[in-house]
A and B are shown apart, each in its own frame.
Chain A
Amino acid sequence: MADFTSGFWSTYITIATLVAIAACLLLLVLNSRRPPPSADNTTGHVWDGDLQEANNPLPRWWSGLFVITIVFSLGYLWLYPGLGARDGASGWSAAAQYEAETTALAQEMAPLYARFQGRSVTELAGDARAHAIGERLFLNNCAQCHGSDGHGAKGFPNLADNDWLYGNSPDQIVQSIAKGRNGLMPPMAAALGSAQEVEQVAQYVLSLSDSSSDAVKAALGKPRFATCAACHGADGRGNQALGAPNLSDRIWLHGGGLQAVVAIVNNGKDNPMPAWDDKLTEGQIHVLAAYVLSLSQPGAQGARQ
């Protein structure tokens, strides 16, 4: 077990546990001896003038329970992990139990999702029952980053605006959820040249979406944008195969304006979306993809409400 860096603590705990149990047994044995008879069966101690202490033996039922607890604890320690790093004879472990319970739960849920499995994500986007389940899944798993309404936040894409980094086909959405994505923008400062040249490119990028920009600097930056076009396309409309964002739509995942754009160009950005296929079942991801798709389809929601 990796919990212990050496065998010392394991041995220490094992000995301490066994000695404690043996001491309990010893305590019981010493106190179970029938007391020597005295005339009035008291210990002779008197408090407050008339309070005497009777010298009765331990009740047998109580001693029996005490012995049972000792036998139980030894049996328990033999069967289950407890004596230092020792694995129990039963082979039980918390991790295995967790695995078994999650597998059982997935099996229990399978019929619930089975009826959606034969239908396409596009079709399910307008289905009220799939939407209700998808909504719960989204609130429990996705809302922490993308917001309860899926409208995102800085660094976390808005899922309701019909602007797709990796595409809105059912397969692409399922892929984004199941396997995750890694939005990688490399630092481009070195490739573009001086700080002044970086700013010129940034002004050009801003001009693509008619954001406020310096027309002269933008014109100077345009030739250097060729470096960026490899991913973002010659017209800056992005590339969903790479997850390169569209730069011409005024949607700024990491903030708009000159300062933010320059910062991204200089420093790059590593923006991962984790994979969910180890936490959600295939059926759940299917329903969730339909829910995500419905967020940007007011028609689908309108039909449902």
Chain B
Amino acid sequence: MVREVIPIALADDNGLFSIYQAHQKLYPRSVTGRFARLRWGAVFFTQMIFYGLPWLQWNGRQAVLFDLGARKFYLFGLVLWPQDFVYLAALLVIAALSLFFFTAVAGRLWCGYACPQTVYTELFMWIERHTEGDRAARMKLDAGPWTADKLARKGAKHALWIALALLTGFTFIGYFAPIRELGAQVLSLSIGPWQLFWLLFYSFATWGNAGFMREQVCKYMCPYARFQGAMFDRDTLVVTYDERRGEPRGSRSRKAEPAALGLGSCIDCNLCVQVCPTGIDIRNGQQYECIGCAACIDVCDTVMDKMGYAPGLVRYSTHRAVHAAPESAADRRILSHLLRPRVLIYACLLLVLGGGLVTSIATRNPLRVDVIRDRNTLARIADAGRIENAYRLNLMNASEQALVIDVAAEGISGITIEGPAQFEVAAASNRAVPVRVQVPPQGIDPGAHAIRFLITAREEPAIARTEKASFIVPR
């Protein structure tokens, strides 16, 4: 069998050898349709969470707060310490695998619907459309002279952009500094210099990226855009122009019969190019600039509808399907190749890791203990010749209630703890306590002996730890 290879061609022959060209501003036309509604749904969903989450309260504190100064991350009922960093690693692995999984199934879903760059560009373009008008009006406005109207429209646009950017920066900082206090500080102009800096920094980044950089971020800056190609295969659903059906393209009367004119379904109206947020022509085939937003699908379906043709000249399809023979078998091939090994392996890994993470967090022990032997004195002889070692126990209580901790030792016959063996550790805090351990001198060899500390929370039998330590008997 001859291996099928996806043909690649340099889209722009002038690309390599031209002098750097200045950025050409794009004026994407607004679009409505199934996928535009889906994207707006994603925008509302993600932004409800982003703007709303910091305002939720839990146990009298902010429900989600990443307190970098105190090195504690609050996630509803969960308080994460630096020792819990492994959860972040697991979360990142899961995020990466999700990316692999969704990209293998349906291409750049993340880019097209959920990426902040897309979401904020969408919001900023919405403001732009309501102040400056749609594509043609914006082009005319930019080309025309500075008039009072132009000034008013541009001014309104920037005022709204900056307001939205500031709200975004403020919300972002609100995940790291308590947002209610932050709000009061902003209103009373008493915000700290670093908080102000980061607030303005993220506002500026939002304003610049969503207002001006837009598709250049995706085309030139985003590494993810570039390595996504490695996760595509012939069965990945991507936004595809059906060349066999569309070509040869050409304008025609709505009443004309394309077959009679020797034309395909594409009427060459160029709307798919005008709506494209990255300014490419989907009819040139798969291109790295395509963020999979499906705006061209929506607009082409509208045109096909007006012409009285079947929709789907541009549609989500796979490389294998659009090259399938016979054509009637195309859509069946998409489904039959959906559950392929790559997708199944990603799905299994995701399930295992996700299940593991949830189980691990659900059964997490809120008590952590570090045992540190005193190094200054190996051993001491106490009353009645008993041998004494000193330890320091660092008791960390990651729960949201104060714990009374009992400490006991075992491992050598007659082992006891002298002095206090019960300690109260306040909620979400740690405490280092000195502990003295004694053993009787009879019948024990010199050298190091393994012992264990049994640390239990009073009235909370589920919260317990056993920690190994060594006990030194002098010669």
- Do the two shown chains form a genuine complex with each other? yes
B367 to chain A, nearest CB (A): 19
Flag if B19 contacts A151 (CB, 8 Å): no
Whether A56 pairs with B432 at a CB distance below 8 angstroms is no
Beta-carbon contacts of A31-53 to B below 8 Å, as 1s and 0s? Answer: 00000000011100000000010
Over the window 4-20 of chain B, the binary record of Cβ atoms lying under 8 Å from chain A Cβ atoms (1 yes, 0 no) is 00000000000011111
Asked if A151 meets B17 with Cβ closer than 8 Å, knowing A139-B432, A143-B434, A156-B376, the reply is: no
Residues of B within 8 A of A153 (CB): 376-377, 380
- Asked whether, in the complex, the Cβ of B377 is within 8 Å of the Cβ of A147, the reply is yes
List, in ascending order, chain B residues with CB within 8 A of A151's CB: 377, 380, 388, 390, 436
Q: How many A-B residue pairs have CB under 8 A?
A: 62
Residues A143 and B374 in contact, CB atoms below 8 Å apart: yes
Given contacts A41-B17, A54-B17, A56-B19, contact A136 B432 (CB under 8 A): yes
Q: Is the CB of B432 within 8 A of A54?
A: no
Cβ of B435 within 8 Å of any chain A Cβ, yes or no, is yes
A144 to B376 alpha-carbon distance, docked (Å): 6
Could you give, for residues 285-305 of chain A, a 1 whenever the CB lies within 8 Å of some chain B CB and a 0 otherwise? 000000000000000010001
Contact status of A143 and B20, CB under 8 A, knowing A136-B432, A153-B376:
no
0 or 1 for each of B233-265: is its CB under 8 Å from A? (1 = yes):
000000000000000000000000000000000
Residues of B within 8 A of A57 (CB): 19
B392 on the A face (CB < 8 A): yes
A22 to chain B, nearest CB (A): 28
Task: Name the residue of chain B whose CB is nearest to the CB of A156.
Answer: B376
A171 contacts partner chain B, Cβ-Cβ < 8 Å: no
Distance of A78 Cα from B88 Cα, bound (Å):
43
Minimum distance in angstroms from A216 CB to a CB of chain B: 28
A59 within 8 Å of B by Cβ? yes
Within A253-305, the residues touching B (CB, 8 Å) are 301, 305
B interface, by DSSP: helix, strand, loop or mixed?
strand
CB–CB A139/B392 < 8 A? yes
Contacts of B434 in A (CB 8 A): 135, 139, 143, 147-150
A145 near B376 with CB under 8 A, answer yes
Are B392 and A148 interface neighbours, CB within 8 A?
A: yes
CB-defined interface of B400-438 with A at 8 Å, one 1/0 digit per residue? 000000000000000000011010000000011111100
B390 touches A148 (CB 8 A): yes
Q: Is B391 among interface residues, defined by CB-CB distance under 8 A?
A: yes
Bound complex: CA of A59 vs CA of B20, how far in Å? 7
Smallest CB separation, B441 vs chain A (Å): 16
Chain A interface residue count, CB cutoff 8 Å, equals: 27
Q: Do B436 and A40 touch (CB < 8 A)? A: no
**Nearest CB on A from B187, distance (A):** 26
A148-B422 in contact given A143-B392, A143-B434 (Cβ < 8 Å): no
B390 touches A149 (CB 8 A): yes
**CA gap between A144 and B377 in the complex, in Å:** 9
Q: Tell me the complex Cα distance, A33–B350, Å.
A: 53
Question: B435 touches which one: A59, A139, A149 (CB < 8 A)?
Answer: A149
A134 to B391 Cα, complex, angstroms = 18
CA distance A240 to B351 in the complex (A): 72
B42 to chain A, nearest CB (A): 33
Report the minimum CB–CB distance from A87 to chain B (whole Å). Answer: 27
Bound CA–CA A53/B19 (angstroms) = 13
Q: For the complex, what is the distance from the CA of A60 to the CA of B19, rounded to whole Å? A: 11
Nearest CB of B to A158, in Å = 9
Q: Inside 8 A of B19's CB, which chain A residues have their CB? A: 41, 56-57
Residue from A57, A59, A151, A301 with most neighbouring chain B CB atoms (10 Å): A151
Task: Kindly list chain B residues whose C-beta atoms are within 8 Å of the C-beta of A147.
Answer: 374, 376-377, 390, 434
* A153 nearest in chain B by CB position: B377
Cross-chain contact A42 with B17 (CB below 8 angstroms): yes
Q: Which residues of B contact A150 (CB under 8 A)?
A: 434
**In the complex, which residues 130-187 of chain A have their Cβ closer than 8 Å to any Cβ of chain B?**
132, 135-136, 139, 143-145, 147-154, 156
CA distance A285 to B467 in the complex (A): 34
Bound-complex Cα distance A54 to B13 (A): 13
Which of B16, B17, B419 is the one whose CB lies under 8 Å from A149? B419
Give the distance in Å from the alpha carbon of A151 to the alpha carbon of B392 in the complex.
13
Residues of B with C-beta under 8 A to A143: 374, 376, 392, 434
Contact with A along B373-406 (1 / 0, CB 8 A): 0101100100000001011100000000000000
Minimum CB distance partner of A62 in chain B:
B20
B419 near A56 with CB under 8 A, answer no
Give residues 212-250 of A contacting B (CB, 8 Å).
Answer: none
> Smallest CB–CB gap between B120 and chain A, Å?
23
* Residues of A in contact with B (beta carbons under 8 Å apart): 40-42, 52, 54, 56-57, 59-60, 132, 135-136, 139, 143-145, 147-154, 156, 301, 305
The 8 closest A-B pairs by CB, nearest first: A153-B377, A148-B434, A149-B434, A148-B392, A41-B17, A149-B390, A147-B390, A149-B436
Residues of B bordering A, CB below 8 Å: 16-20, 372, 374, 376-377, 380, 388, 390-392, 419-420, 422, 431-436
30 A-B pairs (CB sep. < 8 Å): A40-B17, A42-B17, A54-B16, A56-B20, A59-B20, A60-B20, A132-B431, A135-B433, A136-B432, A139-B432, A139-B434, A143-B374, A143-B434, A144-B376, A145-B376, A148-B374, A148-B392, A149-B434, A149-B435, A150-B434, A151-B380, A151-B388, A151-B390, A151-B436, A153-B376, A153-B380, A156-B376, A301-B419, A301-B420, A305-B420
Given contacts A143-B434, A149-B374, A153-B377, list 7 more A-B pairs with CB under 8 A: A54-B17, A135-B434, A144-B376, A147-B376, A148-B391, A151-B388, A305-B422
